[in-house]
Amino acid sequence: MILTVDQLKRIADSGGGLVLDASLFTFTQVKGIVEAAANNGSATLTLRNVANLTAAQLIELSAAAPGLVTFDLND
């Protein structure tokens, strides 16, 4: 990965949209990035490779940033 989790959080908090491979992060790291996007209110996130996350975790991520997170379930 070319950027650290902290850098990704700062990008999301600044309004930058991101497409991330969720399999490269822990759930806690992904949630932190999602929460940073929610702080901004307009940064969108697309999460790919979410097979390692449960439906409950996807719901938790959705609730953390309503309308800002998209899950690519085609993987």
- Give residue 49's pLDDT: 96
Q: What is the pTM of this model?
A: 0.93
Q: What tokens were used for 54?
A: 């449960």
Residues 56, 1, 73, 30, Cα dihedral to 10°: 20
Number of domains composing the chain: 1
- Give residue 40's pLDDT: 86
Q: Which amino acid is at 49?
A: N
Domain of residue 14 covers 5-71
19-69 per-position pLDDT tens digit = 999 999 999 999 999 999 999 889 999 999 999 999 999 999 999 999 999
Q: What tokens were used for 14?
A: 């600044």
Residues 5, 62, 49, 16, Cα dihedral to 10°: -50
CA distances from 57 to 50, 67, 70 (A): 10, 16, 13
